[in-house]
Amino acid sequence: MSFWDHLEELRWTLFRSIFALVILAIVFFAFMRGDDGIFDSIILGPTRGDFVIYRLFCRVASSFSFLSEFCDTAFHIEIINIKLATQFFTHMTLSFWLALVFAFPYLMFEVWKFIRPALYESEKKSVRWVFLFGTGMFFLGCAVGYFLVFPMTLRFLATYQISEAINEQVSLDSYMDNFLMLIFIMGVIFEMPLLSWLMSKLGLLHRGFFNRYRRHAVVALLILAALITPSGDPFTLSLVFVPLYALYELSAFFVKPAPKEEDDAVSVYPNE
């Protein structure tokens, strides 16, 4: 293909990607409002006591007494709007972000189709695996963020009181900022094994790094889990820590072994 042929193919790739985003955004925009709409039933789900993860914790409350607070079906967080145009712009931007997330596999497929002719057969197999694994891990991270990290963080911060004289009300801007940030961050964090694999391919990372700093990683991940879920009880802390540590071990599994001379040095001087 000539340069202009490549440019034409790129133009159609961008056109198909943008068209898919626009169509999905319109669909999400149409189904956003209403009592059974996406916003009330899904986005605002963690603000109500009947949220699925709260009901699940309530079922196991007999084994963990500190989970009994999740059986409070009267739990409710009031979301208020203090700016005139916020609800309209939230409707627009949320439709776009949902379209971007759910169109992610198709966008990756379009990228794959564009770069595939320039790759060797061995490279095609690796890149195909990277796209599939990266997409799956991103969605898994977003799911963990939505069902675990955000509800736990929201429930703690929204019920924490420095004084009973303060009436807790959460603004729509604040709620959406934390909702999108925590879910997106968890999606990115779950890409850590893929990033480690790519760095290993470039010769920038090896398995000896994970072996040497495992104890440091455990402490750092515990601190990170405590910051994400500041409730203080060990159950909710472990709900975040265990997936994060599993990502660390999965990352170590995907990278190349350390050079032999460095492995020998680590075995002789394990504390260095």
Q: What is the pLDDT of residue 88?
A: 93
Nearest in space to 44 (alpha carbons), one of 77, 72, 81, 70? 77
Write the burial class of residue 175 (CB in 10 Å: 0-12 exposed, 13-18 middle, 19+ buried).
buried
Per-residue pLDDT of the chain (272 residues; tens, 9 = 90+): 666 777 888 888 899 999 999 999 999 999 998 878 999 999 999 999 889 988 888 887 766 666 677 788 888 898 999 888 899 999 999 999 999 888 888 888 888 777 777 767 766 677 777 778 888 888 999 999 999 889 888 888 888 788 888 887 889 999 999 898 888 888 888 888 888 887 887 777 888 888 888 899 899 988 888 877 665 567 777 878 888 898 888 888 888 786 664 444 444 445 54
**Cβ proximity of 241 and 222 under 8 Å:** yes
Q: Residue type at 268?
A: V
Q: What is the pLDDT of residue 64?
A: 65
Strand boundaries in 140-180, DSSP class E? 170-171
Q: What is the CA radius of gyration of the chain?
A: 23
The DSSP call for residue 45 is G
Q: What is the pLDDT of residue 269?
A: 42
Q: Which residues pair with 79 in a beta bridge?
A: 170
Q: What is the pLDDT of residue 262?
A: 47
Residues 206 and 63: their CA atoms lie apart, in Å, by: 42
Q: What is the pLDDT of residue 18?
A: 94
Q: What six digits make up the tokens of 92?
A: 């627009």
Strand boundaries in 54-148, DSSP class E? 79-80
Q: Which residues pair with 80 in a beta bridge?
A: 171
Dihedral over Cα of 187, 193, 196, 201: its sign: negative
Q: Residue type at 138?
A: F
* Residue in the structure block whose two tokens are 């159950």: 235
**Cβ proximity of 70 and 61 under 8 Å:** yes
Residues 254 and 242: their CA atoms lie apart, in Å, by: 18
Residues 209 and 242: their CA atoms lie apart, in Å, by: 20
